[in-house]
């Protein structure tokens, strides 16, 4: 591979999108990563500066443009300089408001007994 290209799985790991390079390779091998809109199945696919990657990370869809290739897996601040995030930020939803107080231990035991009776577990 030429010096102006880098393996896709290695870049995803260096940019800290995946905790291990193996996880990054599994995502690519599973067909879950697109490079410039085209699905790729090879973790060794060569990527360059300017390429656009699309993939799922957890429950979030990520679309990033490669700005730098990087030479190592450094701290998060260094990793964030490797890409430009193109996906619009998802609005944060406030946590649901609690209805009433937390159940006591006695309440939980009563619920467990009720569920067990419904399931036929006596």
Reported as a pLDDT band with limits 50, 70 and 90, residue 96 is confident
Residue 122, pLDDT score? 55
**Would you say 104 and 111 are in contact if contact means Cβ atoms under 8 Å apart?**
no
pTM above 0.85, yes or no: no
Burial class (CB in 10 A: 0-12, 13-18, 19+), 9: buried
Q: Is the pLDDT of residue 1 over 70?
A: no
8 A C-beta contact, residue 18 and residue 31:
no
> Which pLDDT tens digit goes with each residue over 44-95?
999 999 999 999 988 888 999 999 998 999 999 999 999 999 987 778 888 8
CATH number of 6-85: 3.10.290.10
Q: What is the pLDDT of residues 28-57, one digit of tens each?
A: 999 999 999 999 999 999 999 999 999 998
Of 42 and 2, the structure prediction assigns the larger pLDDT to 42
Q: Residue 11 pLDDT more than 90? A: yes
């Amino acid at each position: 591979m030429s010096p102006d290209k880098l393996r896709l799985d290695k870049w995803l790991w260096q940019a800290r999108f995946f905790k291990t390079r193996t996880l990054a390779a599994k995502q690519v091998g599973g067909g879950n990563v697109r490079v410039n809109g085209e699905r790729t199945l090879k973790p060794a696919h060569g990527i360059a500066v300017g390429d656009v990657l699309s993939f799922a990370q957890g429950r979030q869809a990520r679309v990033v443009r490669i700005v730098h290739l990087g030479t190592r897996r450094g701290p998060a601040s260094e990793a964030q300089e490797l890409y430009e995030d193109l996906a619009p930020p998802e609005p944060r939803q406030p946590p649901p408001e609690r209805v009433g107080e937390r159940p006591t231990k006695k309440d939980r035991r009563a619920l467990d007994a009720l569920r067990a009776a419904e399931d036929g577990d006596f």
